[in-house]
Amino acid sequence: MPTNRLCIADLHTHTNRSLCAPQSTTVASYLPHCAAEGIRTLGISNHIYKPSVLNCQHPENIAYALAVREEIEALRPQTDVNLLLGCEVEIFYGQEPGIQKEEAAAFDYVLIAASHIFNFAHEYAHIDLSTPEKARNMLLNRFIYACEVDFDAPVGICHPLYPLCAPWEQEIVDGITYSQLKDCFTLAAERERSIEIHACLYRNGTQLNDEGLSPSYLRLLSVAKECGCKFHFGADAHAPGAFVGYHAKLERAAEIIGITKDDLWDIAK
């Protein structure tokens, strides 16, 4: 049986409504695993992009993401898991977010993705990101914008300051000074942005400790805790295989940082 005290809600999962997830991934595909993982609340947060970003015809837009509501409502009588519908909204440099302020009210919550810089390199082709320092500055710039943009829904920041697909992830993250982290997370706390305890803690972009966790990201989250941020958990699963077996690691990270139930986002409790 799971021993989770805190990680009982996973608010960052994807279904086949995200282009990067397999067609076999549905809301229902996660449900058989929730009890074993200790997950009582499951949040579905598929991507929403502006049409110009994808360079393809896949309809990752608001209506497409909202259609998951029908699947959720059909499943409610069959499960004890609390099902929420969120979205992962992209904010690229120099562009408006994927949804507008009022449109967010159709979702239970919004996760802002501010660090998809290198895996959408074409969006940043006109910007010099040729060194870790330049990439780090862009990452910090995007985080600040994620704190400032308004939505008519509760807002969290997913995979905070995690330079996905960057060639120098360890150097980028470790080069963020304590002062910079404090400025970022103080602003996040003031703007009531929940910070995600994310799978970057155990992915291999940075060195992992004997428990399979990244000291670099534990440091980052510790400063967020110090600044009074609220937190939520997100495995960022695109299929059940990335969901099963990982919540104990997220729970352990929270334990190391000293996060309590009082530190959690209301919808993550």
DSSP per-residue string spanning 195-253: EEEEGGGTSTTS---TTS--HHHHHHHHHHHHTT--EEEE--BSSGGGTTT-HHHHHHH
Find out whether 7 and 251 touch, Cβ atoms under 8 Å. Answer: yes
**Per-residue model confidence as pLDDT tens digits over 83-110:** 999 999 988 888 778 888 999 999 999 9
Q: Helix crossing, 215-226 with 247-257: angle to 10°?
A: 50
- Torsional class of 95: left (φ above 0), alpha (ψ -120 to 50), beta (otherwise): beta
Task: Return the pLDDT at 122.
Answer: 79
pLDDT, residue 218, reads: 98
Strand pairing report for 109-113 and 231-234? unpaired
Three-state secondary-structure class, residue 25: coil
pLDDT value at position 4?
A: 82
Of 218, 139, 149, 224, the C-alpha closest to 189 is: 224
pLDDT at residue 173, rounded to an integer: 97
pLDDT tens, position by position, 187-197: 999 999 999 99
88 CB burial (10 A radius; 0-12, 13-18, 19+):
buried
Ranges in the chain, pLDDT < 70: 1, 50-60
Exposed / middle / buried, residue 180 (Cβ in 10 Å: 0-12, 13-18, 19+): middle
pTM confidence score: 0.95
pLDDT of residue 82: 98
